[in-house]
Structure 1
Amino acid sequence: MEEWLTIENLERLEAYYRTLGPFIGIFLPLLEAFLPFIPLVVIVVANVNAFGLFWGFLFSWIGTVLGSYIVFLIVRKYGRHPRLYFFTKNARVQKFIKWVDMNGLSPLFVLLCFPFTPSVLVNIVAGLSNIRKHFYLAAIVLGKMVMILLMSFVGHDLTALIKSPIRLALSALAIIALWFIGKAVEVRLNKRVERDLRNIDKR
């Protein structure tokens, strides 16, 4: 692995990725919205290193916004179909939907800003809720912009990261910190959902 991970090999890989053009830079983050096990941070880092900070960020942002909004629209149209009953009636999903309808768009926007939060769940819940389409699109555009900017700045110069162990370690710490912050926000929102719904049931 160490023998393969050289500056020359990384540059060749970046050059090959660049030859695939903007399509691949937009398509991969779009695909991640449907297949959340694909690591979005790896796609963003590949984009900004192959196409530069601005274009790499732009392609990643366009792709993830399109993917998230398409998932939202599909769920909005077909999410209550009887064949999807087993999923949409999941207790956690139903609680989140009810709470979102009570509290509006703000908590979803916060979740969309952080990497590693379950964006597919956010898109599904938004699709099943009563949030208006254009409001959710605005939340995706702004929230994903924050998230992709964070990822882009952390990993935009992979060659320099490999050359500088200190910078590499700081970047790794930044990614880990973003993961913990995102999970902390998610846990806090889940607790708030449970508390608010319990208070409603007591009334």
Structure 2
Amino acid sequence: MIEWFKELMTLGYWTDMLNQISSMGMFAGVGLAMIEAFFPPLPLILFVTINVMAFGFWTGYLYSWLGSCIGSIIVFLVIKKFGQKRFQQKIAKNEKIYNIFNWIKDKGFTPIFFLLTFPFTPSIVVCGLAALAGIKNREYISALVLGKLIMIFSLSFIGFNIRAFVEKPLKSILLISITFAISLIGKKVIKLFEKKYEKKTSTKNEKLPAKAA
């Protein structure tokens, strides 16, 4: 195990791995990006970085985008078909998630696209909420492919320039600052919508007639 970790830290190990992935072609690149859709704890940026290093920026970007979209569509369709009752009960217990769920259910395309443009949004959460909200397949896929175009591009840019960030720390600090600022703005916008739908839900509950004893 120790020897494996030592090998993992060598440049030769990663060079060999990138060469192997590159030799396997499109299926390896697309398959790598699909993994994150089914196993959210695995960082998508890792697979995107491997792809752009193995295939070059634009080809790696395309493979990563295709794989991420295909994986997210499969997850969406599976949850929509089999996960309605099971997951809806869990959503109702989490006020924050429930408010985002109502936002997606009410607005459809816009929140799905918006959430999926941010680099570190867990795609499975957005897929699941969209499926449970009953969003039409065409509407979801349209928002997904456009949102992922932006998300995967930003991750590809970071991954492709990772060596330059080490050699030029100022460039790294600038990009990290921009990414942090965008994430912060996104979180604030999401919180505004959460509050809006929290008030909307509370108002609806107040208007409901009381049940007779």
Q: Structure 1: which 5+ runs fail to align?
A: none
Structure 2 partner of 1:87: 90
Partner of 1:45: 49
Cα distance in 1 for partners of 2:132, 2:75 equals 11
- Counterpart CA distance in 1 for 2:12 and 2:173 is 21
Question: In the alignment, which of 101, 106, 115 is matched to residue 105 of structure 2?
Answer: 101
Q: Which runs of 5+ in 2 are unaligned?
A: 208-213
Q: Which moved more, 1:98-107 or 1:141-150?
A: 98-107
Higher RCO (C-alpha under 8 Å, 6+ residues apart): 1
Q: CA deviation at 1:89?
A: 4.8
Identity percentage of aligned residues? 34
Work out whether 1:124 is the aligned partner of 2:139: no
Relative to structure 1, is the Cα distance of residues 172 and 79 closer, same or farther in structure 2, using a 3 angstrom cutoff? same
Q: CA deviation at 1:153?
A: 2.1
Q: Secondary structure at the match of 1:199?
A: helix
Partner residue of 2:149 out of 119, 141, 145? 145
Instruction: State the Cα deviation string for residues 87-118 of structure 1 (Å, max 9, x = none).
Output: 35544455443443323321121111112123
The CA distance in 2 between the partners of 1:12 and 1:162, in whole Å, is: 22
Q: 47-56 vs 186-195, which deviates more?
A: 186-195
Aligned counterparts of 1:79 and 1:9: Cα–Cα separation in 2? 41
Gap change, CA 1:120 and 1:94, over 3 Å in 2 = same
Q: Is the 8 A contact 1:28 1:43 kept in 2?
A: yes
- The TM-score normalised by the length of structure 1 is 0.81
For residues 111 and 53 of structure 2, the distance between their equivalents in structure 1, rounded to whole angstroms, comes to: 32
Is structure 2 residue 176 aligned with structure 1 residue 172? Answer: yes
Which residues in structure 2 correspond to 1:12-31 (within 5 Å)?
12-31=16-35
Once residues 98 and 162 of structure 2 are traced to their aligned partners in structure 1, the CA distance between those partners, rounded to angstroms, is: 42
Q: Deviations over 1:24-73 (max 9, x none)?
A: 32112212112111111222122112211111110110011111111110
| Worse-superposed segment, 69-78 or 22-31 | 22-31
Mapped to 2, the partners of 1:170 and 1:73 lie a distance apart of 39
Letter paired with 1:157: N
Seen in structure 2, the aligned counterparts of structure 1 residues 7 and 188 have a Cα distance that, compared at 3 Å, is farther
* Residues 1:192 and 2:196 aligned together: yes
Residues in 1 aligned to 2:186 and 2:34: alpha-carbon distance in whole angstroms: 21
The separation in 1 between residues aligned to 2:111 and 2:157, in whole angstroms, is: 25
Structure with larger Rg:
2
Aligned partner of 1:66 in structure 2 is 70
Number of aligned residues: 201
Moved beyond 6 Å, runs of 4+: 4-9
How far did 1:76 drift?
A: 1.0
Contact 1:111 1:185 in 2 (8 A): no
CA displacement at 1:18 relative to structure 2: 2.5
Question: In the alignment, is the contact (CA less than 8 A) between 2:103 and 2:197 conserved in 1?
Answer: yes
- Indicate how the Cα distance of structure 1 residues 189 and 13 shifts in structure 2: closer, same or farther if over 3 A, else same: farther
Tell me the amino acid that sits aligned with residue 43 of structure 1: F
**What corresponds to 1:76 in structure 2?**
80
